[in-house]
Amino acid sequence: MPEQPHHAPRAAAHGAPTGDSAGWRHVHRLTPVLRGGAGLLAALGAVVVILFQNLQSVLEDLVVEGLGGPGRDTSGFGVFRLLPTLIREHPIITLAVIGVLLVVLAVIIVCLWLSWRFTRFRIDSTGVYLRTGVLARRERSASHDRVQSVDISLPFIPRLLGLASLVFDVAGGSDSDITISYLKRSQAEALREEILGHLRSGRREGIPAHPQSPAHQQDTARAQGTAADAEVPGTSVGTATSATAPTPPDGHAPSTVPSDVPTAPLGQRLLTRRAQELQSHAAATVDDLSASLRDLLAPYRLNPTAGEEGRLLRVPFHRLLGSALLSTTVLVSAVFVVGLLAGIVVVGIFVSPRALVTTVFAVIPGVLALVGVLRSEMGLANFTVALTQDGLRVSHGLASTTNRIIPLDRIQAVKLRQPLLWRTAGWWRAEFTIASEGSDGDTQQNVLLPVGSVDDVMLMLGLCLPDPRPHGTDARSLVLAGMLGPAAGGPEAQVAEPFYRGRPRSSRWVDPVTWKRNAHALTGTLSLIRSGRLSRVLEFVPHARVQALTLSEGPVQRRLGVSTIALHISPGPIAPHFVHLPTAEAQHLFHQHAHVTRAARIELDAHTQGSTPERKASS
Amino acid sequence: MTPLNPVSRKYAGVQLIGSAIGWAVFLLCLIAAAVCGIIFDLTWLMILGFALAGACLVAAAIEAIIVVRQVRALGYLEREHDLLVQRGIMFRSTTVVPYGRLQYVEVSAGPLLRAAGLATITLHTASASTDASLPGLPRAEAEALRDSVAARGGARLAGL
């Protein structure tokens, strides 16, 4: 292991408990105290104080009895002054109490020391490793190319002591960070430099595999207009990306700075060619933009035009209001309120008018729920979508406007939903999942289009998804069949219905309501998953975005001869499943889809590396 | 298909000890209640205590059988492009984790597992819903698997 020499003696001196001391380093000695040990000590202190204060009078009584005279001392910690007397009079009890307290203190200190001793980390040329735990031991490791960003975090109290933690952001669930805390601030900074150094050397190894030299690539990129410029801002703007990615202070070689940013898997360009085409045009004239838009949306048989500043569509206020009023939540609370009012009237008439007064208050929660839903929906008022260099710019809000950039190449999946009452109006809502570290609870973050017609929705699909490449039918029919099918939908949708793979009749026992609508279709680049009977749902998952697959089967399913395949994608509002497929078909599809997704991924990566200079070639 | 690599048989023992500790605490409480019933001459308490203790023993025995079967059903297979993890008999599931999708790998071991020389290896992808953890591998095997999987992950690295 290539190890900096001045750390090595330190690790050796402390002697790692398991003996494999190669490169393992310890965190700062105060760490366990700062991470909870302080609380433990404070608790012990509090116990001691309370014990002494409460016992004081008892002890005094004891002592006073022992001394056989007056002379009470009620001030503060008189117990300490009484201690000698106490020891003389009741030596065993007093010493036992003090002894127990000392033992507890010692145990705490030993625990803290052990915790420190067993917390070790190692950073080498391949990755970062963190070991924790005395009894239950954990070892986490991530290779450098998986680290999205390296941050130095300075919590308040450690900061006062000049300590910092080093946070390695790795994509994944909520606790997917690897946090090394605490280190001396200078040490943390040095380590970060060291890691950036490893990243740099890793990249350098990767570059010769590239057909072009970096400088040449930059020239080509510049020749492509704004396309390359979009790469860098696209990683620092928007909801999804890590704005904390540090840029190393590498002033003497400015041309290599972009390749040093350790945000390894940045936006991978699913739409690469098209998006860049679009993006370069976005800066150019609107006519050009419309032309490439037409090109992009041809599979969906749409002919959109972009307005000024690349604006594509705007949701009219009356439509949003209408859709909010027709949403299921509002409907349920309205029915609840009306029902309650009716009940109150009945009670008022038949039982006693007096009961009426009190029960009126029962309506208030219903009304509040209604108002709450309407208010949150109004947050999506004035929803406007525009195409910019960095992706889609979405702005919405009634009183205060929220602007967001959705990097199109980071979209992992799209979901269309139509609540029951939107059917007559033909409205749909589109949501998406994006590759991002923290998907917080804000559901409005994931709205691609709050409400729109079929054509509006298809426009968004064309922008967010790769070219669908359907076999034997056209994308528009396929999507329509997915949205409206199997029974409803015009002839256009019926054409594509055979391309949907339905579910066996036996699945009605596990899914009585939706089994007829449950279906999926596979195209060259996408899985379309149709579900939902009353509230229709259609999910789109690009093959290249599938992380892992699970085939599962419960006891009831086994009796019915069906299995379910789950497609794992980044956390978000979409959890795609191929539910209740016949077992044999499911097993076949499971293994086949593993290959299909792998191939799609390779294609995507080839695409990405061909066009993104700062990506390391997969060696 | 090639047969799966099983996890260590010792893991069943570890699981049994773990559940036995839980049941033992419960059982002791019930027996204490029953003994109280005898001492204070409360027949109903005695009968209730012993009846529940008996039920407890039966439940523990059933759990023991399930645990042993579950451990036998656990298995994994390193394939060319992905790792296959299989688990469960009643609720059977097979997960495929492509090496290129790995974000990081974790090897952990609780006190009981460690005493038996075993460890749990968990593969993390960018999806939070992927539960590709494989408990009860011998420590050396777990570490070897981690290293080989991590190496292949690096070679087949794919973006998000």
pLDDT at A222: 34
Q: Do B105 and A141 touch (CB under 8 A)?
A: yes
Which residues does chain A have within 8 Å of residue B114's beta carbon, measured at their own beta carbons? 135, 137
* A101 pLDDT higher than 90: no
Q: Do A127 and B150 touch (CB under 8 A)?
A: yes
Alpha-carbon distance A605 to nearest alpha carbon in chain B (angstroms): 7
* B40 pLDDT higher than 70: yes
Domain locations in chain A as residue ranges? 8-27+119-208, 31-117, 316-378, 397-611
Residue A24 half-sphere exposure toward CB, CA atoms < 13 A:
21
Looking at the structure, do residues B80 and B150 belong to the same domain, yes or no? yes
Looking at the structure, do residues B58 and B91 belong to the same domain, yes or no? no
Q: What is the CATH number of the domain that holds B140?
A: 2.30.29.30
Give domain status of residue B160, yes or no.
no
User: d(Cα A113, Cα A106) in Å, to the nearest integer?
Assistant: 10
Q: What DSSP character marks residue A256?
A: G
* A458-471 per-position pLDDT tens digit: 989 988 888 888 88
If DSSP codes are grouped into helix, strand and coil, which group holds residue A328?
helix
* A526-560 per-position pLDDT tens digit: 999 999 988 999 999 999 999 899 999 999 999 99
Question: Which range has the worst mean pLDDT, B92-96, B104-108, B139-143?
Answer: B104-108
The residue in chain B having the minimum alpha-carbon distance to the alpha carbon of residue A553 is B92
Q: In this complex, is the C-beta atom of B158 within 8 Å of any C-beta atom belonging to chain A?
A: yes
Alpha-carbon distance B150 to nearest alpha carbon in chain A (angstroms): 8
pLDDT at A66: 53
* Token output for A425: 């109006």
User: d(Cα B27, Cα B33) in Å, to the nearest integer?
Assistant: 10
pLDDT at A440: 46
Q: Which residue has the higher pLDDT, A467 or A260?
A: A467
Within the 65-104 window of chain B, which residues sit less than 8 Å (CB to CB) from chain A? 81-82, 90-98, 100-104
Domain end call among B22, B52, B72? B72
Domain end call among B72, B101, B123? B72
Q: In this complex, is the C-beta atom of A435 within 8 Å of any C-beta atom belonging to chain B?
A: yes
Q: Which residue has the higher pLDDT, A264 or A550?
A: A550
**Residue of A143, A167, A616 to mutate, testing the B interface (most B Cβ within 10 Å of its Cβ):** A143
Containing A619, the helix (H) or strand (E) segment is none
Q: Do A172 and B93 touch (CB under 8 A)?
A: no
Looking at the structure, do residues B86 and B144 belong to the same domain, yes or no? yes
> Secondary structure of B37-100 in the HEC alphabet?
HHHCCCHHHHHHHHHHHHHHHHHHHHHHHHHHHHHHHCEEEECCCEEEEEECCCCEEEEEEEHH
Report how many domains make up chain B. 2
Question: Which range has the worst mean pLDDT, A128-142, A444-458, A570-584?
Answer: A128-142
Question: Which range has the worst mean pLDDT, A71-85, A319-333, A520-534, B91-105?
Answer: A71-85
Domain end call among B18, B46, B72? B72
- For residue B10, give its domain range: 5-72
* B141 pLDDT higher than 50: yes
Q: In this complex, is the C-beta atom of B148 within 8 Å of any C-beta atom belonging to chain A?
A: no
Share of chain A above pLDDT 70, in %: 69
Report yes or no on whether pTM surpasses 0.90: no
pLDDT at A223: 34
* A226 pLDDT higher than 90: no
Percent of chain A as helix, strand, coil, to the nearest 5: 50, 20, 30
CATH of domain A8-27+119-208: 2.30.29
Q: In this complex, is the C-beta atom of A421 within 8 Å of any C-beta atom belonging to chain B?
A: no
Looking at the structure, do residues B86 and B112 belong to the same domain, yes or no? yes
Please identify which residue in the block is written with the tokens 């279709």. Answer: A521
Give domain status of residue B31, yes or no.
yes
pLDDT at A202: 61
Across A147-210, the runs of DSSP E, i.e. the strands, are: 147-153, 163-170, 178-184
